[in-house]
Each structure stands twice: as C-alpha cells, then as structure tokens.
Structure 1
Amino acid sequence: MKPIVRTLIFCAAIAGAADLAAAAEISIAANSTGKNLSFLREQIAKFEKDTGHKVNLVTMPPSSSEQFSQYRLWLAAGNKDVDVYQTDVIWAPQLADQFVDLTEAAKDVAGAHFPSIIQSQTVNGKLVALPFYTDAPALYYRKDLLDKYGKKPPETWDELAATAKEIQDKERAAGNPDIWGFVFQGNAYEGLTCNALEWIKSSGGGQIIEPDGTISVNNEKAAAALDRVKGWIGTISPRGVLAYQEEESRGVWQTGNAVFMRNWPYAYALGNGDDSAVKGKFDVTPLPTATDGGQHSSTLGGWNLAVSKYSDEQEASITLVKFLVSPEVQKARAIQLSNLPTIAVLYDDKDVAAAQPFMPNWKPIFENAVPRPSAVAKVKYNEVSSKFWSAVHNTLSGDGTAAENLELLEVDLTELQGDGW
C-alpha cells in the first residue's frame, strides 16, 4: 500500500473515532397522552440521523400528577439516567433548582416563542425549560346533534346542562342507551384542579389563590359553581366521570357517546381520525360562563422541555431540546397532533391552517387563559393543588357540601401558607 493511501486511511479512522467519541447517548422522559410518544419517536429518529446521538425514550404515565411525583423522586436522588424532562407549565417554580439554566444556550431561539410562556419558565432569572407546545381547553360539541335538535353551542353552564340533558334523553329514546350529555376530567388529580378552576373562575369565584397571595377559594360563588357541577353527576355525566382523566373522557366522546366534552386541543386531531365515530361531526367553542356575557375561563396548560443538572450529557441534551422546540418540529406537531404551537408565526402558517382550521381561532382562548396559582405558591403548589382537587372531588362525590369542603380547604391552605408563600 502506498504511504499516502495508508496516511489517508489512518486519518479517516481517527476522524471516525472522533465522531464516535462526540456522539452521546441521552434519555428523554415524556408522557404517553394521545400520540405524543409515537410523534417523539418519529422526530428522535430524524435527530439521531442528523447528529449521530442516540436517544432513549422513557415512557411516563398520562397523569401529570403521577409524572410529577416520579420526576421529583428521580431529581431528589440526583438521577443521571434521565437527561431531558417533558415538564408541565406549572412545575418550573418547584423543580427549577434541578434543571440547567438555558438562558445562554437559548438566546438565539427564545425570542420566537410567546413571551408569557418564556416568562412562565423563568425562575429567579433562570430559564429552566423551553416551550414544547402550549395548551388551553375548549368545549367540544357534536355539531350534527345540535343541528338535529335546533340547538346552538351553549354560552352558559346552565345552557350546557339543559341542552345536554335534552339531547341525551332524546338520543336514548331513539336507540342509543349509552350516550351521555357531558364528559370531563373528574378524577382526583391535577386535571380536576384545571376543570374546577374553570368552573369557579367563570362564576366569579376567583382563582383559588390570587396573585397577591390572598386565599380566595372559600366564597359563595365558588361553592355555587361546585354545587352546579355536583348536580351533573348521574344526570348528564356518568358517575364514572369521577374517575375520568383526559383519555377516558376522549374514549367516551370518540365512540360517539357524548354530546359535549371538555378537553385539550390534542383531542381534536384524534377525534377526526379514521377510527373515530365522530369524525367530521364536531366543532369546538370557548368553555361556558356562569352568566350571559360572563368571563370565559380556560386553564393555561402547556408542556416544556428541561435539561437535568445531573445529566452527564448536557450539551447533547440541549441540542435535542432546541431541535424539538424548533419551528419545524412545532409545525409538524400542530399538523399531526393538533397541539398549539408556542411560536406565534405558526398561527399564520397556511399548512397549519389547512390541516387544523380550528387552530387560528384557538389563539385567543389560550391568550386569555387563566394560570393556576403555581407562581404564587411556588414550591408548595403541588400541595395546594392536591388539597384543592381533594376538596372538589369530595364535593362531587357527595362527601360533604361545597361550602363545608371549601371552608376546610381554606383552613388547610392557610396552615400551608404559614408566614408566606
């Protein structure tokens, strides 16, 4: 072999070894709601091909409460097995100390995202997560059934209940004994906090804890809102709704057995899937209010991506995060999964509008969404939410009245507050 050829082969081998050395193996923990995992696998395959990195997907339960509990255990133990975490919008104040500050790494991309979402993930000047997609729920309604009975989408909760009951009863009489008027998320978990915050806020009952730290939940309007919902159980909503999370609600809806459903945007694309009994038969509208002309209230949701400070592959993990929150991936996510982008220009994208015609109209729903009191409760938010959803679930289950349970809740929250949040 000629010396020059031998030299070239040697240099190529060294370069290949260097490439292998630079390649990292990282893991990302993500929830299993809807088609989130299948979408991530598709995007990860592209990332691996482009970068040479290896990415493992750690499957988390769809329940955000269960997910948070597991995250907290891993992070408290300094777990190095998970590098990137998919995080709920409310977790930033509670987990900030466990995550890498992305301020410098994201300075070239942060400005493309809605400032309010970037701010929600900034704790003491530290950007702890980048926005993956945002969320705000709406009222799904069977357009075909409302048209059939000459009804309009309800403006108030009482109108919803009346319309739901009438259509439910008539459809049962016509031969569908399994249909219900309204399904939502009534299980004792974070999803019930979201639902109940909407009922109370839209009834003028405040938002559990006000931005100034005042505990406001124990009031007559809040109690009346919960009493109203209690009246739905067993009449327009199955008793089993007290165990429903997002996927159980969607299951009833997607088989054609609900007139109305409260859910997040991800259910829109799935509802129009080829395997859906309601494909092309439904539409969405803002959640109702307590009175005509009242305030529509949807809980601000959304998911983000954070890098663990215990990761041994922080650089590669940051590269993965920036890829997954990029305009290209967010556009694909909007088109395929009907998740709301956090990048403003995508709401004017013709491909997104063609695939998800509802999406431009959803923008004002989340822009006016109500935040949960995580910013004020900080590290105590999880306990606040747990006590709140427990009080609500007790009320809906018939274990004490709304007034009694909210009075007890105020005592618990005051004790939790101590000398301040």
Structure 2
Amino acid sequence: MKFRFTAAAVAAALIGASVPSFAAEISISASSTGKNLDLFRKQLDAFEKATGNTVKIVTMPPSSTEQFSQYRLWLAAGNTDVDVYQTDVIWAPQLADQFVDLKDATKDVVGDFFPAIVGSQTVNGRLVAMPLYTDAPALFYRKDLLEKYGKQPPKTWDEMEATAKEIQEKERAAGQKDMWGYVFQGNAYEGLTCDALEWVKSSGGGQIIETDGTISINNERAAAALNRAKGWIGTISPSGVLAYQEEESRGVWQTGNAVFMRNWPYAYALGNGADSPVKGKFDVTTLPVAAEGDKPSSTLGGWNLAVSKYSKNPDAAIELVKFLTSKESQKQRAIELSNLPTLSALYDDKDIAAAQPFMPNWKPIFENAVPRPSAVAKVKYNEVSAKFWTAVHNTLSGNGTAEENLELLEADLTTLQGSGW
C-alpha cells in the first residue's frame, strides 16, 4: 500500500504556511539509511511543485557518528550551503546555538506532537528542531523458525541466547550453513551506545549517568550485562558483528541468515518488501530483559529537522520543515518506511494500521524508552558516548574484562564531569 500526495494533501500540509513570494533555493542534509533519501525526494518534489522553491538533498552517511562530526564542522564554519539539517534526538543540547528557534513559527502545530519528544528538542526555552519521526528498537524474530522448532519469542536474554543457539545449530545441520542466531550493532559508534545501554538498563545496571548527574555505570549488573554480550561473539553472533552498523545487521537478517535481530522500525518495512527473502516470515517483540521482573529497555531514538542560523532563506527552510513534519508527510513516511510518527493522532490512522499492523503496538515501546544521557551531559555527551562505546567494544573484543573497562570508564567520566558538563 502506498500513500501518495494528492494536490489536496499538499495543500493541507501547507495550510497556514507563509510561503515566500519568491522562488528560493534551499538544501537539506539527510541520512542515506534504508530508503530515507528516496522518500525525501518524492516529498521534496511535491513541495517544489506547490511552492515554486527548489530543494537539493545533501547526502549523509548512515552512521550518525559520522553525520554529527560533519555537521559540527559545517556549523562551526558558518556554512551557508545547508539550510535544513536532519538531526538525531541526542544532538539538540550540543548544536542548539547553531539553529533557529522554531517556537513561534510552529506554535500552530507543535501542540499536536508528543510533548516528551518536543521537550527533547527544546534547549533553554528554544525549540531547535521539529520531530520528524521517533524511534525505539525491538527484537525482530523469525516466526517461521520459532514455530518450526516449537519456541516462543524470548522474554529474557538467556532465553534468547538458548533459542538462537539451538535453531542456529539445527538449521546449519539441515544445510543452512550461513545461519546465525543473533545480529546487532557492534561497531564502535553511537549505535553500540544504544545497544549496550539496553543490555545494561534491562539488567538493572542503570543508564550510564543518572538524571541527577550520578555516574552509575561501574556496577556488577552492568558488568554482567556486558559479559553476557561478549559471550555471543563467535557463538550466536558472527565475529564480524563487531564492525556491524544498522545496515550490516539488516543485510544478514534480510537475506534470511539470522534468527533474531535488534534493529529500528525502518527495518520492518524493508524486511517485508516485495524482494525480501524474509517477507511475511518475521515479527517483532520487546527487547529481552536479564530476569523476570526487570523492565524491557529500548533506547529512545528519533530524527528531527532543524534550520541553520546561517541559512540565506530561513523562511523557506522553516516552511519546508513544517511541510516534512506535517500529518500528511508523516503518514506517508509511516506507510512507506515504517517510521514511527511523532504525532499522536496518527497511531489511530486506519491506513497506517493496515499498511503497518505492528505500529500501533509499538507506541508503548517508545513511550517507555530509555533516553541516552544527553540531557545531563549536554555539550559533553558526544565524549561521554564515545568513552562508553569504546569500553563496551573493548569488552566485546576481548580487550580487557567488563569489570576492568567499566572501572576505567568511571574514572574517565569522573574527570570529564569535573571539567563541567
């Protein structure tokens, strides 16, 4: 099913927009993950037709870490070549001073968005980005294989590991030599921070730095969570997972070579694509926990749109942001890319429910998602995250034990905190 922009839909998305009377040339930087760029281009074509403006896409790599580094360089240099930036939910405190305050321009629509997501993009009272879509990962599982071997979707990490190991071994014995039990994002980048935060939080090990500023990561439960994950490498997960980001994980999964995968909602629509070997063979559930009674933890993700304060056409850029985050645009994004809307009303939309039956059930996953400590670490968050994912990657790679690496991490974070968040 495809949702297409009709003339009426474009008009609805632009109602109330003070579209400039002159034709502006603007640009938007966007991630190349999945089919994000393809949909952006379709929506930008509709915007161009309706407004007379022209919009160029500046293609960014899938890695959010690489994107952030490039953004920071451009903005520090006062770059005027990019008007609108697609931004990760965690970047608002770090890049706020480089973006236009959107509060007044969006006062007619901002009340329709989830307040918590709007809050995550508000810094010192300034709305620095508009929520485009939200994100919270889930456990993807091959329902056909679980049914084949009489298994239920796992509730705990130990259950997941045991089920993954058994099915992997039996499938390999049956001739599926490339089958693996579990794939995730193990590369040393922001994605590993997300995965490892889930392991730690769902094991009762805290969330790296607590909301009151307490550095909590050096504890027995956090160490146990990382040691458990280390045990997956080379057993139920390929050694190459230490270099995997989202797309590498999806590549193994979508070719039918994994029982379980941890990934974001975008992988759902792609996995059910017409050319996908796993179409109709999988489902999703909440990520596992360490033990019964622990709370499932999915890292809060999501992407937003911000307007550069260096833009030569800020009015046109703001209207583009409002257009791309409108109900009509988000509906198309949900249907075609399985991206989670940031507008509450869309979770009751019948077209979305028909196209993406899983989506209404995903709402409680992200509403209870655990945030990364960007709010408390502020401009130092990138350093905090880099130190955390390095400690985790060292542990997974066998370069020191979890206990040793977390002790070193605590010392590094304490030093960083001492210089002021």
TM-score with structure 2 setting the length: 0.95
Instruction: Report the CA distance between 1:208 and its aligned residue.
Output: 0.2
1:242-257 correspondence runs (5 A): 242-257=242-257
Q: Which runs of 5+ in 1 are unaligned?
A: 1-18
Alignment correspondent of 2:65: 65
Q: Distance in 2 between matches of 1:280 and 1:54?
A: 39
Alpha-carbon contact 2:20-2:315 (below 8 Å) kept: no
Q: Distance in 1 between matches of 2:90 and 2:285?
A: 25
Q: 1:188 to 1:54 in 2, by over 3 A?
A: same
**Aligned letter for 2:25?**
E
Alignment correspondent of 1:99: 99
Alignment correspondent of 1:166: 166
Does 1:233 pair with 2:233? yes
Deviations 1:357-385 (A, max 9, x none): 00000000000000000000000000000
**Aligned letter for 2:180?**
W
Alignment correspondent of 1:185: 185
Q: Distance in 1 between matches of 2:415 and 2:70?
A: 26
Alignment correspondent of 2:324: 324
Q: Distance in 2 between matches of 1:167 and 1:419?
A: 50
Does 1:355 pair with 2:321? no
Instruction: Report the CA distance between 1:275 and its aligned residue.
Output: 1.1
Alignment correspondent of 2:407: 407
Q: Distance in 1 between matches of 2:327 and 2:148?
A: 41
1:188-337 correspondence runs (5 A): 188-337=188-337
Instruction: Report the CA distance between 1:88 and its aligned residue.
Output: 0.2
**Aligned letter for 2:33?**
T
Q: Distance in 2 between matches of 1:256 and 1:21?
A: 52
Deviations 1:238-271 (A, max 9, x none): 0000000000000000000000000000000000
Does 1:42 pair with 2:29? no
Deviations 1:44-79 (A, max 9, x none): 000000000010000000000000000000000000
Deviations 1:131-163 (A, max 9, x none): 000000000000000000000000000000000
Alignment correspondent of 1:148: 148
Alignment correspondent of 1:338: 338
Q: Distance in 2 between matches of 1:358 and 1:267?
A: 12
Instruction: Report the CA distance between 1:21 and its aligned residue.
Output: 7.0
Q: Distance in 2 between matches of 1:360 and 1:350?
A: 10
Alignment correspondent of 1:15: none
Does 1:138 pair with 2:147? no
Alignment correspondent of 1:397: 397
Deviations 1:8-44 (A, max 9, x none): xxxxxxxxxxx99711000000000000000000000
**Aligned letter for 1:250?**
R
* Secondary structure at the counterpart of residue 260 of structure 1: strand
**Aligned letter for 2:129?**
A
* Secondary structure at the counterpart of residue 216 of structure 2: coil
C-alpha RMSD of the superposition: 0.9
Q: Distance in 1 between matches of 2:403 and 2:70?
A: 34
Q: Which runs of 5+ in 2 are unaligned?
A: 1-18
Instruction: Report the CA distance between 1:419 and its aligned residue.
Output: 4.9
Instruction: Report the CA distance between 1:351 and its aligned residue.
Output: 0.3
Q: Distance in 1 between matches of 2:187 and 2:93?
A: 25
Instruction: Report the CA distance between 1:87 and its aligned residue.
Output: 0.2
Q: Distance in 1 between matches of 2:330 and 2:242?
A: 33
Alignment correspondent of 1:27: 27
Q: Distance in 2 between matches of 1:211 and 1:316?
A: 37
Identity of aligned residues (%): 80
* Secondary structure at the counterpart of residue 178 of structure 1: coil
Alignment correspondent of 2:16: none
* Secondary structure at the counterpart of residue 388 of structure 2: helix
Alpha-carbon contact 2:20-2:316 (below 8 Å) kept: no
Q: Distance in 2 between matches of 1:362 and 1:21?
A: 41
* Count of matched residue pairs: 403
Deviations 1:328-347 (A, max 9, x none): 00000000000000000100
* Secondary structure at the counterpart of residue 192 of structure 2: helix
* Secondary structure at the counterpart of residue 75 of structure 2: helix
Alignment correspondent of 1:55: 55
Q: Distance in 1 between matches of 2:301 and 2:226?
A: 22
Q: 1:20 to 1:282 in 2, by over 3 A?
A: closer
Alignment correspondent of 2:118: 118
Q: Distance in 2 between matches of 1:237 and 1:293?
A: 26
Q: Distance in 2 between matches of 1:293 and 1:406?
A: 25
* Secondary structure at the counterpart of residue 353 of structure 1: helix
* Secondary structure at the counterpart of residue 22 of structure 1: coil
* Secondary structure at the counterpart of residue 56 of structure 2: strand
Instruction: Report the CA distance between 1:420 and its aligned residue.
Output: 3.6
Q: Distance in 2 between matches of 1:302 and 1:21?
A: 33
* Secondary structure at the counterpart of residue 331 of structure 2: helix
